[in-house]
Amino acid sequence: MKRIASLLFALTLVLLLAACAGTPNAPAAPPESAGGVKTNAFDLEKGTVLLNSGYEMPVVGIGTFMLTEEQAENSVYWALKAGTRLIDTAAAYNNEAGVGRGIQRAIDEGICTREEIFVTTKLWPSNYNERGVDRALETLGLNYIDLMLLHQPAGDYMGGYAALEKAVSDGKLRSIGLSNFSDEQFAEVAASATILPAVHQVETHIFNQHTAMRGFLNQYGTVLEAWFPLGGRGHTQEHLGNETITAIAEAHGVSAAQIIIRWHIQDGHIAIPGSSNEAHIIEDHNVFSFELTDEEMQAIRALNTDTAYYPGMGATSEETQAQFEQWANEWGLNID
């Protein structure tokens, strides 16, 4: 009897191991941090999340899309002064130099040290190589970058990801990740990665909550980061004026923007609201002194309609290029 039980146990173990080995898209490395601590633990007391790279990342930051160099300098400086420790920029925003100046101003005034802040930038497909990484370091005026993302699933993104991995081993980058990739494209990169993406930055807001993608990313220990957390320029009124949001805001005596940002981080995604207004920047950082109830979280989750304002790229590289050129004209993106 005892022998049969042992045999059954051994058989179950073999079947379990076989099932794990056959999991589609299973990452090569376990989704645990260097310290062996489970990833994706949002600590809302500290305002950070532990990434699968072993580094801690603040869960609320300042976004700089559409800001001029001068606006970016001021916004970053105001954000650091307000206590924000996460900054998001990109080569395509043409404002990395301003971001670097804002950081330096805050460091010079003793507001923060370099080690206390977390700087993210992104490579554009035309620069998916080592030179792109070096250029970002030079333009930002930094000797390492906390997180670098591939901005779009276009061009040689496999080669670009390998360049990011090399830059990690060279000490130029700490964590690396992706932005705007489909699950299939993400899995393609992860399958040959030696360092799993720590973060995936995608358009995420109350009307586009990406619940399925979050489940998918969990198996890699990858954290979702929300761009357009307030709906993006041109759409914020639909979000901030939403009746469910304004009712919850009234109940807590805070603003609609604060309710939405709090929902993001309580639901497990990093939020990087963009702003060039100091009062908004202070407000957007102050989301740690109140908590949404389970009912309020559910009411906001129920607003989801899976509506993205910018859904994916064109299927062919010509269509993708045309889309990029349209964005360059519309938004002043630097796509060279």
Ligand X SMILES: NC(=O)c1ccc[n+]([C@@H]2O[C@H](COP(=O)([O-])OP(=O)(O)OC[C@H]3O[C@@H](n4cnc5c(N)ncnc54)[C@H](OP(=O)(O)O)[C@@H]3O)[C@@H](O)[C@H]2O)c1
Which residues form the interface with ligand X (CB under 6 A)? 63-65, 88, 151, 179-180, 201, 227-233, 236, 240, 255, 257, 272-277, 280, 283-284
The CA-based angle 186-191-197, given to 5 degrees, is: 50
Q: What are phi and psi of 259, to 5 degrees?
A: -65, -45
Q: What are phi and psi of 261, to 5 degrees?
A: -65, -40
What is d(CA 334, CA 268) in angstroms, rounded to the nearest whole number? 31
Choose, from 77, 93, 128, 220, the residue flagged as catalytic: 93
What's the min distance (Å) between Cβ of 72 and ligand X? 10
Q: How do 145-150 and 118-123 pair as beta strands?
A: parallel
Buried b (16+ CB within 10 A) or exposed e, 247-277: ebbeebebbbbbbbbbbbbbbebbbbbbbbe
What is d(CA 117, CA 211) in angstroms, rounded to the nearest whole number? 29
Question: CB count, 10 Å around CB of 306?
Answer: 11
As a 3-state breakdown, the chain gives helix, strand, coil percent values, each rounded to 5, of: 45, 15, 40
150 beta partners: 123, 178
Q: Is 310 a known active-site residue?
A: no
What's the min distance (Å) between Cβ of 18 and ligand X? 38
What's the min distance (Å) between Cβ of 276 and ligand X? 4
Query: Measured from the CB atom, is 33 or 69 closer to ligand X?
Result: 69
Q: Of all residues in this chain, which one has the CB nearest to ligand X in the complex?
A: 274
Which uninterrupted H or E stretch holds 16?
helix 2-21
Query: Measured from the CB atom, is 33 or 96 closer to ligand X?
Result: 96
Which residues, 6 or more positions from 72, have their beta carbon under 8 angstroms from its beta carbon?
A: 64, 89, 93, 95, 98, 99, 102
Query: Measured from the CB atom, is 94 or 201 closer to ligand X?
Result: 201
Residue 141 token pair:
């005026």
Query: Measured from the CB atom, is 48 or 255 closer to ligand X?
Result: 255
Query: Measured from the CB atom, is 30 or 312 closer to ligand X?
Result: 312
Q: Catalytic positions, please?
A: 93
